[in-house]
Chain A
Amino acid sequence: MKKTIKGIAAPLSLANVDTDVIMPKRFLITITREGLADGTFADLRFDNEGEVRPDFILNKQPWTTANILVVGDNFGCGSSREHAVWGMRQLGIDACIGTSFAGIFYDNARKNGLALPIVSSETQGDLLQLASDANGGEISIDLETRTITAGDFKAPFEMDDATQTALIRGRDDTMDSLEYVDAIRAFEARLSDTMRVSVIR
């Protein structure tokens, strides 16, 4: 059970940050979920020689320990690669606060315990400003009440019920859905033969 996410928030105001930027393809040639922390935002964090880019927010104090990102519009667009979310989790990111997220990224995040609170443009602006303050302190995301708090600042966020439940319970969707085998069998029984795909081997 995880009802609250607390920590340092880093501002990443760029719009349309795509999953190619979150996890460049050279890190995708793998058959496991592990070892993706170094690849996460690799081209933003490191230069072509592999040296740390000192100007990038996650390379600066105090944001090196950030576990929350305040992001620009349409974050996570592009490729369906779940590696982007696995990598962010392995880098220690627990939540991204933004105005809109691409659909596949949103679903991938939920499966991996990455919270994506959706806020208004105004709240996004306020939080970007708060997060940019090196002495800004921690912010807190309450999943149950759908509220973000930072000092005196308080704002609501949107999150659908199913995602909220999944994040708080930390459940395994596959195992949960297998509790509905009877319903799945009943659905299949209603399908005519011409609606049952059988791929030629």
Chain B
Amino acid sequence: MSLTLYDKLVDAHKVCDLPDGDMLIYVDFHIMNEYTSPQAFSGLDTKDLTVWRPEAHLAVVDHVNATRSSEPHDAASKLLIDNLEANCTKQGIAFYGLGDPRQGIEHVIVPEQGLVAPGMLIACGDSHTTTYGAFGALGFGIGTSEVEHVLATQTLRYKRMKTMRVTVDGDIALGGTAKDIIMKVVQVVGAGGANGYAVEFAGSAISNLDMAGRMTVCNMAVELGARAALIAADDVTAAALQGHPHSGQFEFIGENWASDEAAVFDKEFTITGAEIVPLITWGTSPDQSVPITARVPSGSDYVSPKDKAALGRALQYMGLSEGQSAQSIEIDTAFIGSCTNSRIEDLREAAKILEGRHVATGVEAIVVPGSAMTRLKAEAEGLRAIFEAAGFEWRPEAGCSMCLAMNDDIAMDGERVASSTNRNFEGRQGRGARTHLMSPAMVAAAAVTGHLADVRDFTRKTSK
């Protein structure tokens, strides 16, 4: 029988069926952070349970920590950080804390450490765990009760998802990036369009991506509701497994980690590469995006009263007018970072735009490398010098930072941010803050011009 990659992964991890229709699946590797794990550890204590297999877990500090310094910025965040370290010490779990050269955003450091391989099942109390699908691994986010469940049993109760394939074929347009691919997919499928589905990305535009690009695509698949995202493992994947601290330790054998040729998906979408142009979000849901050359929608663009109401509410929150051109939107802040776009490849793309240019007057620009290792690499390559010469603030510590503003990097009420992150929700980057999602290079272009700008205007007219 022909199987999808998703079904192969589920089958390979099924422990047993449960009488109520769920199954138990085995979690090969589990990652924790300081904010969604405390109540899981206290749950173990209350129930007098121990951790089933401590060596299969990694805990990392990334959500609440300051990025200006390795010292917590306040007592509350210090409590969360110290609590995680104490829980890990007690349970014998690896802990990469502040100041550790391996610290960084969880989904950035796991590949850096060689802790993901095709065929694995990875869970983490963070929705962007879909990132690992880039390696042909089944990764998905879980809640805190499930974190407790994994700690105690090394398994999860699981219901098999339906399958969706999104095929992006052909060369993507000039200036388009992996970020634009996934933003386009979210726009086409819709913010909840993949609820209940595991989504496999296929087609030449996907297989042509490097691992960083594939991770960006799978990372943001959760914004269309996908509980898992997958890309078939290939030679690019195999090459990316080499040269890390855990390289060579793991091999998840038993299957060819790709969907069989004749595998049937419950739902299919096809997008042509030429449609992938630089996009920006104008609203408060990741599916509310337009090409940078287009205009913010108008009421007349929509038929249903529901959609008209959503438009009105989003525009009011965002402080925009119907039909306003995307490039007329002026920004206060430029932010490059997050598990979506803070890898070395992302920093290189932004630096290409920034080299020999300067941030516009009045724009505050910040870059937070995704991990300590990424920062060191970027500094060695001279990227820090480029960012700083351009007027960007180069943060010395890694973390989620202004993507969700759980630390002290909080956008103010009404502040407008060009952001390389993953969510433009109301209040995401701060109460009343206005987020426009885009690729890192597009953030750099916006920082330099002071308004949302077309990255192609920079690459076409390079002065060099």
Contacts and interface: CB of A to CB of B under 8 A. Distances in A.
Nearest to A99: B192
Interface residues of A, number: 61
Interface in B39-53: 39, 42-43, 47, 49, 52
Interface stretch (B56-64, B336-344, B377-385, B447-455): B56-64
Contacts of B94: 199-201
B427 A14 contact: no
B15 A160 contact: no
A63 B125 CA distance: 33
Interface stretch (B248-256, B290-298, B319-327): B248-256
A195 interface: yes
Interface stretch (A3-11, A89-97, A149-157, A170-178): A170-178
B449 to A, nearest CB: 29
B285 interface: yes
Given A15-B306, A175-B47, A43 B28 contact: no
Given A31-B38, A175-B47, A104 B142 contact: yes
Contacts of A54: none
A108 B145 contact: yes
Contacts of B245: 200
B207 interface: no
**A48, A104, A161, A188 interface centre (most CB from chain B within 10 Å):** A104
Contacts of A18: 423, 425
Interface string B162-194: 000000000000000000000000000011100
Q: Majority SS of interface residues in chain B? A: loop
B21 to A, nearest CB: 4
Given A48-B432, A174-B43, A177-B155, A16 B191 contact: yes
A107 interface: yes
B88 to A, nearest CB: 9
Given A82-B145, A194-B250, A198-B56, A77 B191 contact: yes
Interface of A: 13-16, 18, 20-21, 24-25, 28-33, 43, 48, 73-74, 77-82, 85, 100-104, 107-108, 111-112, 160-162, 165-166, 172-175, 177-178, 180-181, 183-184, 187-188, 192, 194-201
Given A102-B192, A183-B24, A197-B55, 15 more contacts: A74-B192, A79-B423, A80-B142, A103-B161, A104-B142, A108-B145, A112-B145, A162-B20, A180-B155, A188-B26, A194-B249, A194-B251, A197-B56, A199-B246, A201-B95
13 contacts: A13-B306, A18-B423, A25-B406, A78-B423, A79-B404, A82-B145, A160-B159, A174-B43, A180-B24, A188-B26, A194-B253, A197-B249, A198-B249
